Amino acid sequence: MIPKELKYTQDHEWIRLEGDKAWVGITHHAQGQLGDIVFVELPPVGKRVQRGSQIATVESVKAVGEVFAPLSGEVVEVNPVLAGSPDLVNKDPYGQGWLFALRLADPQEVGGLLDATAYEAFVGSGG
């Protein structure tokens, strides 16, 4: 269930790299922990972020989850569909439920991300 081509963080974000752009969302594990998502607050396009800083929030019927920037960069796109259909994060977390895209400030930061095998082990260990 964990896509092998993506990278992951221990905060349960996934990253799909395309050149100097990184598409970001929350993992299937994260959306399952949150439950039914009812609202997503996304960052404004143009916002510059540092890796590890809070960038978005995902609200469900039972909790509010913080989303952290997995890499440093500038927000170049947000998913406009989530304003009217936040439940896409539950239904299709690795596809239509993506959150935002970053233009990378430091591509070397990618080396600090987990591959699918490491992320699966992390989740399996209770992470």
Residue type, 58: V
The number of beta carbons lying within 10 Å of the beta carbon of residue 94 is: 18
What pLDDT score was predicted for residue 126? 82
Please report where in the chains the tokens 């395309």 appear, as a residue.
18
Name the stretches of the chain with pLDDT < 50. none
The token pair that represents 114 in the structure block: 């987990």
What pLDDT score was predicted for residue 1? 72
Distance, in Å, from the CA atom of 27 to the CA atom of 81, rounded to the nearest integer, reads 18
The number of beta carbons lying within 10 Å of the beta carbon of residue 106 is: 11
pTM metric for this prediction: 0.95
In CATH terms, the fold of domain 7-107 is OB fold (Dihydrolipoamide Acetyltransferase, E2P) (2.40.50)
Phi first, then psi: give them for residue 69, nearest 5 degrees: -65, 120
Please report where in the chains the tokens 């990618």 appear, as a residue.
110
